[in-house]
Structure 1
């Protein structure tokens, strides 16, 4: 199947199930930036449960901004904070050390635009998953998509489209139970090389 979806910050399981099952992927890069979406946030499993990692962005008071034109607000030390949160959440997970050297540089590089940074993160995750994809980018924004399955609604963080994904072992699962549809990082750190098998065995998310 051919799919279209948004590049997001360390995409969640629903996104990656659709990605892993796709024959070709189109990234939507011509849309307007909207608040309350996964474009600049992801969720991980911390000691106290579900934890939000949010990338601060610079909002304009004028017309709507294209997603690709939105800059990151780097006056905040968000990269260091996010890495500390990941260390706290996953340093005892089975595969954190296995992927640490590939992921840590993402939190040290200076990132100017949120879209560019998300694409860099995505490339690193695909390397970790050993996932080879056929990817293109949208050239114009189209409200209705005919040729591809439209998974763009998955970007809405306030309207979850949760499939009954299979449970896997999570670091703090004995304290708070299984939390579904977290960042791909949660699956990667807990399942390691089996993460891709897990994604391919799940049901494609319903919209």
Structure 2
């Protein structure tokens, strides 16, 4: 029986498509060994408010640190970001149908101080998985040794094999750079997640969760 791998950057409070891929996949790979990019979904998420959209960004230390892998990025805890993010979420969603049902999970997440951005992001992913009733098998790319390869497609195909999978589930936007030949050569079937085109895909999954509850992925 085919076994499917999906992968994504370890995002902060990710969007629904992140979890839709996770829902379909047998194994979910977090690409924690790539270069960190400021103002990417790894550092920030978008929520909906009465005044429009709002970005929640985790402050990080970068001065004199040069280019860093995601797993090496340290949070700037001199900024009161955890309390601010939780306050913004409460203010934006406190009257949503399922906010009270899940509030304690997120309050506990923001109460706990973590040093690395990766650890914060994994905590946010695990919290949303619990609320969305997902039980994924999650692995980190940094923990997997694969042969040296020529490019992104070859590397992803090798990671698929290393995870014991023979199908790779990609995002619609990945069509621009993935080379199907690299997968076929290794006996890997390349599939793409269907793009629903829904506007809620732009927001953190907390938006749909607080409004729809655990059925947000249906």
Task: Assess same fold via TM > 0.5.
Answer: yes
1:60-97 residue CA offsets vs partner (Å, 9 max, x unmatched): 43441111010011111011111110011000000000
Tell me the CA shift for residue 112 of structure 1: 0.7
Give the match's secondary structure for 1:3: strand
RCO higher in structure (CA 8 A, sep ≥6) = 1
Partners of 1:70 and 1:114 within 8 A in 2? yes
Gaps of 5+ in 1: 155-161, 167-177, 199-207
Give the match's secondary structure for 1:39: coil
The question of 1:21 aligning with 2:53 is answered no
- One of 121, 141, 163 as aligned partner of 2:195: 163
Aligned length: 180
The question of 1:187 aligning with 2:190 is answered no
- For 2:133 and 2:88, how far apart are their aligned partners in 1? 25
Gaps of 5+ in 2: 161-167, 175-193
Given the superposition, is the C-alpha separation of residues 150 and 30 from structure 1 closer, same or farther in structure 2, using an over 3 Å criterion?
A: farther
- One of 143, 146, 150 as aligned partner of 2:152: 143
Higher Cα Rg: structure 1 or 2?
Answer: 2
Q: TM-score by structure 1 length?
A: 0.79
Partners of 1:32 and 1:65 within 8 A in 2? yes
Q: How much is the aligned-residue C-alpha RMSD, in angstroms?
A: 2.4
- One of 43, 48, 51 as aligned partner of 2:51: 48
Q: TM-score by structure 2 length?
A: 0.75
